[in-house]
Structure 1
Amino acid sequence: MASATSVTSLVDEVNCPICQGTLREPVTIDCGHNFCRGCLNHYLEIPIPDSEEPPTCPLCKEPFRLGNFRPNWQLASVVENIERLRLVATPGSEEEDVCQEHGEKIYFFCEDDEMQLCVVCREAQEHRAHTIRFLEDAAAPYREQIQRCLENLRKERDEIQGVQSRENQRIQILLTQVATKRQKVISEFAHLSRFLEGQQGILLAQLEKLDGDILKQRDEFGVLVSEEICRFSALITELEEKNKRSARELLTDIRSTLIRCETRRCRKPEAVSSELGQRIRDFPQQAHPLQREMKMFLEKLSFELDYNPAYVSLDPQTSHPKLLLSEDHHRARFSYKWQNSPDNSQRFDRVTCVLAHSGFTEGRHTWVVNIDLPRGGSCTLGVASEAIKRKGEVRLRPDEGVWAVRLACGFVSALDAFPTRLTLEEQPQQVRVSLDYELGWVTFVNAATQEPIYTFTASFTQKVFPFFGLWGRGSSFSLNS
């Protein structure tokens, strides 16, 4: 067995003059010196002052021709044998890949058979006409292909991860919407239950009163009838006794007796007064509030389950300087004092308006606005196109990209092509604004009574935002979060 010292001496003999390491893929140039293929390629990449002169040997400085260096298979075999000896002589060294058939280190790759070869395999008859390359040279184009595949796979993986992220976010939104709808169903049915209990108490109390009034009139009727029967019974008894007497006694005061009997008229009292009878007949009308409430309940429940509650917050970048926004951006108040707001292209500078932070390009959405208006104040609610004019005067009407209603003390107007004053049962304090982007509906409803206010029909092509405007000292609104 070779000693470690002799192996080290052999290794020194096959070192590369450039890297001072054991030759890897040795090649020989014109002067006969051997170098690692990689080291020589790197050496040739160094710029030469006079590019017309041929490169020189790194060791002896003799010129050699580019492309005239050739693989030194014999030296490669020697290097392989030395490496094997070193592995044997050095305890604990890891054995490199070797040919299973010949026990030689694998240096080459046959591109025709796609086989890894040692020096002995390369010289075999079946590979002499094949394209044989060093392992690294053969692996280079495959590394490039692998790199391209990796880039494509990573890109597709990133796209899938993006889809996963978007869909997970969408699922979370849907779960949140379902939870909101569940809470809405519980809340609405609890409200209905309380209302039904109250209505039941009212109707039962009214029926109890009717029952008492009927019994009272029954007792009064009984007393009256008994009195009449007693009076008539007394007259009948008197006449029967008169008729049994003698002619002289019969004729005594006969005219007065007959007059009393003939002029006596029977009073025919009613057991139930006409007024009480009318109350009984009108009792079904007492259920009309219940019918209206049930109708409103079903309409409201159906509406709120169909539309998604929108989380609306005000965008301070669009707010007119006379609007004071709360820290949570859910409330706004009008002030004649201008705020120190930096000017930007998004901010309204003439109309005292503000947009919501987020807009919509699809779907059905609803939000509720609480309004507090002093005398002389007004509030404008609706939606506005993303392209709404921000500077100068803005006409708040559909052809300018605004679909809104204006509420003031005592009246409500729809800001259509021509403002239309609306007739409502009561002045809304809470307004529900609903948007159906695909159908192009913007609907306003009194959130407290469910009374319809107005509906715009549009054809949306851009993103639309919840829109709000205020005027008048002390005027304010807040958003239900």
Structure 2
Amino acid sequence: MAQAASLAQLQAEASCPICLDYLRDPVTTDCGHNFCHSCLLQRWEGLQGDFPCPVCLQHCPDRSLRRNTQLCHMVDVVKQLPNTRRKRKRQEEKPLCEKHHQVLSLFCEEDLELLCPQCKISSHHGGHLVVPMEPAAACHRKKLKGSIEFLTKHLEEADKALEIQTSKAYHLMEEVANQRSKLQVEVEHMKHFLGKMHDDIHFRLLKEEKGVQDEIIEKNNQISGHISMLKTLLDDINDKRVQPDTNLLMGIEKVHSTFENLESPAGFSYELNKEILTLPPQYFGLHKMISKFQEYLTLDAKTAHGSLILSQDGKTATFQRRKQNRAHQSKAFTSHPAVLGSEGFDAGRHFWQVKGRGLGELSLGVCKESFPRNVPIPPTPDNGCWKIQVWATTPDTGASGNSCHIGVFLDYELGEVSFYNLFDRSNLYTFSAIFTGKLMPYFSVCPFATSLKLRLVEDEV
């Protein structure tokens, strides 16, 4: 029994792990495993760079293999040993044709079916390309490798598309949240405005109510006095009527005069002031103005005063009081902390928004392209600068709220520059002029400001 087991183990060691038959022209890999030379080359067909061992998957550096001559001789010796049982077992392990009960050793490339030799000559597969199983397996293994590469590429593209889609969905949800927040702010502004309007109307109605009450009291007093006078006159006439003739006629003129000149007091009449709750037109016009004329401005670093630090995207200018020890651009402001927009306008309608935060005074508006930048003169309409001053009074604590939010609307042909407080949508001021040449968006800060920051925004209010 032990001898049979040893014989079976010896026969197994002399077999190829790939084809399970005795080794033919055996070669040995660097990891020490033995294979038929043709079986190993077939398994590595189509591979480049890395050649894994079919048993332990250790990578072989290249296709150069060592032929094992001693193992070849040993296999010849093992073949002479009795091995009918192993052959029978191997024969049983190979799949058989259900129709002809022969080993399935062929493959039809047209019908993609395993065939036995008898199937090959049948009418069903006549004229079809039929090849041995091993070359067919090698060919389809190569195709499957190509399919794996194709599917891997598509999987990577699908993963990337999912990532992009997820990112888009996130940004859309973020935009929805921003719009919800803006809508909430707008509702709060509207509630504040309506509350103030309600208080004003209520105060006027109370005042009018008191006026009505005072007039009613006055009219009541007049009528009461008139009634009292009528009663007195009536009593006097009744007394006069029963007096003797002499007494009756004495003073009768006065009685008749009083009666004839008697006037009744005017009736009560009052016309109430009609109070109507109306929203200012900017509540309906600003949305249209912003959506139609919104400009996406950036600040021109070449024009920035040395105390203004511009952000990389050109949207923010931060004021920092410091000594002017750097070289100035030829177009830069040196007379006061100011900066211009990168683009100017010589026609059309344009709207932009500025948010301010910090402690100090901001100046916003437009100026002529030729406005002097190194001469200490005040920026006024007389020298080509139309701007207003607004105060930022909230310390820059990094909170989401801003101390001021100003909209600037330029109508070049109409000759107007209007400024709006976008918190309550009120019109702050409007300049009227005749514009010539290019106008540049103008921004400046008070030299005594404390860490003041202004930022260009494109929010829809």
State TM-score, norm by structure 1: 0.50
- Pairs within 5 Å for 1:45-444: 85=86, 98-101=94-97, 109=107, 111=109, 114-116=112-114, 121=117, 132-133=131-132, 135=134, 137-250=135-248, 252=250, 254=251, 258-259=253-254, 262=257, 265-266=261-262, 268-272=264-268, 277=270, 280-281=271-272, 283-284=273-274, 286-287=275-276, 290-293=277-280, 296-297=282-283, 322-324=307-309, 332-333=318-319, 335=321, 337=323, 350=332, 353=339, 369-370=355-356, 378-379=363-364, 421=386, 429-432=404-407
Report what 2:4 is aligned to. 3
Query: Structure 1 CA distance, aligned partners of 2:330 and 2:143?
Result: 56
Report what 2:36 is aligned to. 24
Identity fraction in percent: 16
| Cα offset, 1:450, TM superposition | 2.0
| Cα offset, 1:139, TM superposition | 3.6
Query: Structure 2 CA distance, aligned partners of 1:151 and 1:208?
Result: 84
Query: Structure 2 CA distance, aligned partners of 1:353 and 1:6?
Result: 96
CA RMSD of aligned residues (A): 6.3
Query: Structure 2 CA distance, aligned partners of 1:18 and 1:96?
Result: 28
Structure 1 residues 416-446: Cα deviation after superposition (integer angstroms, max 9, x where no partner): xxx7858x9x979521479xxxxxxxx9743
Whether the 8 Å contact between 1:371 and 1:430 is mirrored in structure 2 is no
| Cα offset, 1:114, TM superposition | 4.4
| Cα offset, 1:447, TM superposition | 0.3
Whether the 8 Å contact between 2:226 and 2:265 is mirrored in structure 1 is no
Structure 1 residues 311-349: Cα deviation after superposition (integer angstroms, max 9, x where no partner): x99999x9876324799x9772254645989x9xxx998
| Cα offset, 1:213, TM superposition | 2.9
Q: Secondary structure at the match of 1:369?
A: strand
Structure 1 residues 222-263: Cα deviation after superposition (integer angstroms, max 9, x where no partner): 3233333433543454455445444443454x4xx5257537
Report what 2:438 is aligned to. none
State TM-score, norm by structure 2: 0.52
Whether the 8 Å contact between 1:412 and 1:421 is mirrored in structure 2 is yes
Whether the 8 Å contact between 1:333 and 1:477 is mirrored in structure 2 is yes
Are the structure 2 counterparts of residues 224 and 192 from structure 1 closer, same or farther at C-alpha, using a change threshold of 3 Å?
same
Q: Secondary structure at the match of 2:318?
A: strand
Query: Structure 2 CA distance, aligned partners of 1:204 and 1:153?
Result: 74
Whether the 8 Å contact between 2:27 and 2:67 is mirrored in structure 1 is yes
Are the structure 2 counterparts of residues 224 and 474 from structure 1 closer, same or farther at C-alpha, using a change threshold of 3 Å?
same
| Cα offset, 1:473, TM superposition | 1.7
Query: Structure 2 CA distance, aligned partners of 1:355 and 1:151?
Result: 53
Give the alignment partner of residue 425 of structure 2, picking from 440, 445, 450: 450
Q: Which amino acid aligns with 2:36?
A: R
Q: Secondary structure at the match of 1:292?
A: coil
Q: Which amino acid aligns with 2:257?
A: E
Whether the 8 Å contact between 1:411 and 1:421 is mirrored in structure 2 is yes
| Cα offset, 1:146, TM superposition | 3.0
| Cα offset, 1:188, TM superposition | 3.6
Whether the 8 Å contact between 2:309 and 2:320 is mirrored in structure 1 is yes
Query: Structure 2 CA distance, aligned partners of 1:40 and 1:306?
Result: 65
Query: Structure 1 CA distance, aligned partners of 2:355 and 2:194?
Result: 28
Are the structure 2 counterparts of residues 83 and 124 from structure 1 closer, same or farther at C-alpha, using a change threshold of 3 Å?
farther
Gaps of 5+ in 2: 15-21, 46-65, 70-75, 343-350, 372-377, 392-403, 410-417, 431-440
Q: Which amino acid aligns with 1:369?
A: K
Report what 1:386 is aligned to. none
Query: Structure 2 CA distance, aligned partners of 1:39 and 1:218?
Result: 114
Are the structure 2 counterparts of residues 111 and 412 from structure 1 closer, same or farther at C-alpha, using a change threshold of 3 Å?
farther
Q: Which amino acid aligns with 2:25?
A: C
Are the structure 2 counterparts of residues 354 and 237 from structure 1 closer, same or farther at C-alpha, using a change threshold of 3 Å?
closer
Are the structure 2 counterparts of residues 17 and 247 from structure 1 closer, same or farther at C-alpha, using a change threshold of 3 Å?
closer
Query: Structure 1 CA distance, aligned partners of 2:236 and 2:216?
Result: 30
**1:473 and 2:447 are equivalent in the alignment:** yes
Query: Structure 2 CA distance, aligned partners of 1:396 and 1:160?
Result: 56
Report what 1:391 is aligned to. none
Whether the 8 Å contact between 1:332 and 1:478 is mirrored in structure 2 is yes
Are the structure 2 counterparts of residues 164 and 348 from structure 1 closer, same or farther at C-alpha, using a change threshold of 3 Å?
farther
Q: Which amino acid aligns with 2:232?
A: A
Q: Which amino acid aligns with 2:253?
A: L
Are the structure 2 counterparts of residues 115 and 421 from structure 1 closer, same or farther at C-alpha, using a change threshold of 3 Å?
same
| Cα offset, 1:369, TM superposition | 1.4
Query: Structure 2 CA distance, aligned partners of 1:219 and 1:166?
Result: 78
**Higher mean Cα deviation, 257-266 or 347-356?**
347-356
- Pairs within 5 Å for 1:454-465: none
In the alignment of these two chains, the number of paired residues is 355
Q: Which amino acid aligns with 1:333?
A: F
Structure 1 residues 127-170: Cα deviation after superposition (integer angstroms, max 9, x where no partner): 999663462x4344434433433333333333333332223222
Query: Structure 2 CA distance, aligned partners of 1:325 and 1:269?
Result: 78
Q: Secondary structure at the match of 1:431?
A: strand
Q: Which amino acid aligns with 1:378?
A: S
Gaps of 5+ in 1: 28-35, 42-56, 61-74, 89-93, 357-364, 382-393, 398-408, 414-418, 435-442, 455-466
